[in-house]
Amino acid sequence: MAGSDFLCCTLVTFRSGGYPGGHRAHAGMLELGSRILKKQEGGGIIDSYLFRCGEAVAFLITHREEAETALIADGVIGPCREYLLKKKLVVAAEPISYSQCSLSFNERDREDILILLADLPSPDLYNLHLFRMFGDPFSTPRLVLDETLREGFCFETDENGGAGAYALPEDTYRLLASIRNPAGCRVTGVTTRNGEAAASVTLPADAGSAGLLLRAGGIFPTIGECIEPFTIPYMVRSTNGERGMMPLIPTPLCDAQGTRSGGPPRIVCIGFSLAEGRLTGPADLFDDPALDTIRKTGSELAGYAAAHGPFAPFL
């Protein structure tokens, strides 16, 4: 889609380094990044929000399509790197690599967006979750019950460097046959049948952290339906190839860091309502006691996996 009247939401993720070790991103650095973004509001940026999950950092910006997102990202990440160097929290002076994704659309009367950010797992973790959101009626009942979703959705994939496209429900088995091996195929985006942007995953896969942008409600799954796939602590691959798979645990922002070796990996989800590009929020959507049993199960699975030591049980 193109057109200067379209609103664009861009999510940028990077790994900043943290303290102690990679426990969490430094609060002073987060404040600095937020101030830099706020100074640009009213220019190329309409609104912004910066947050973290462990040492993974992400910021959302809303803008019109002509905004120079690469310059904006460099203008935030560069000073954050300098701050960490001065604090001696990092020792290398190399630039921080980042990944990003975008959704461009005409705002609906009610526009809700969700942002997910994970620390430790590889970006292909969203293969299963996106299928359950946009292709599994047992997770998203409105795929069957609501005519506005019954036509299904189209999945875009990166398959060993090549692009793939699948229209659900008729391509369900073909899609599953491809994305079941996430190392070779990862979902990069989801649209409606008429091309309306629904979801976008951060790229490139080997930079930044695993981030996901979603539109919710109306012609898309509801917020609850988007959350439902995370009510099972599925096993996910780590960015560290020497580690086996570990359960992914949904956590509120206040608990978005791990102390045990290998994690277990955490994921946070925040939600906003949009009006003329301005953000209302965030709502910390995983800050819900109903998810406590999922967190307990995930922690128990992580302990079982960690007990294998060098003999990784899930590869």
- For 184-207, how does the pLDDT look when each residue is reduced to its tens digit (9 = 90+)? 899 999 999 999 999 999 998 888
Total number of domains in the chain: 1
Residue 311 placed within a domain: no
Q: What is the pLDDT of residue 305?
A: 86
Residues facing 164 on adjacent strands: 157
Does any domain span residue 251?
yes
pLDDT at 21: 78
pLDDT of 5 > 60? The answer is yes
Q: Considering the entire predicted model, what is its pTM?
A: 0.94
- The encoded tokens of residue 166 equal 């699948």
Contacts within 8 Å (CB) and 24+ apart, 32-41:
32/79, 32/80, 32/83, 33/57, 33/59, 33/76, 33/77, 33/79, 33/80, 34/59, 36/75, 36/76, 36/79, 37/61, 37/72, 37/76, 40/72, 40/75
Comparing CA positions, the residue from 6, 15, 18, 10 lying closest to residue 40 is 10
Q: Look at residue 315 in the predicted model and tell me its pLDDT.
A: 60
Phi first, then psi: what are they for 228, rounded to 5°? -55, -40
Using an 8 Å Cβ cutoff, are 47 and 38 in contact?
no
**Tens of pLDDT along 267-302?**
999 999 999 999 999 999 999 999 999 999 999 999
List Cβ neighbours of 170 (8 Å cut-off, separation of 6 or more): 152
Rounded to the nearest integer, the mean pLDDT of the chain is 91
| For residues 153-157, average pLDDT | 98
Q: pLDDT per residue over 95-108, tens digit each? A: 788 999 999 999 99
Share of the chain above pLDDT 70, in %: 95
Is residue 315 domain-resident? no
Whole domain around residue 172: which residue ranges?
A: 7-305
- Which residues make Cβ contacts (< 8 Å) with residue 84, sequence separation at least 6? 16, 17, 26, 29, 90
Say what the pLDDT of residue 59 is: 98
3 — pLDDT class (breaks 50, 70, 90):
very low
Residue 314 lies in a domain: no
pLDDT in the model for residue 22: 79
In a domain, 222, yes or no: yes
At residue 1, the pLDDT reads: 40
* Mean pLDDT value across residues 49-76: 92
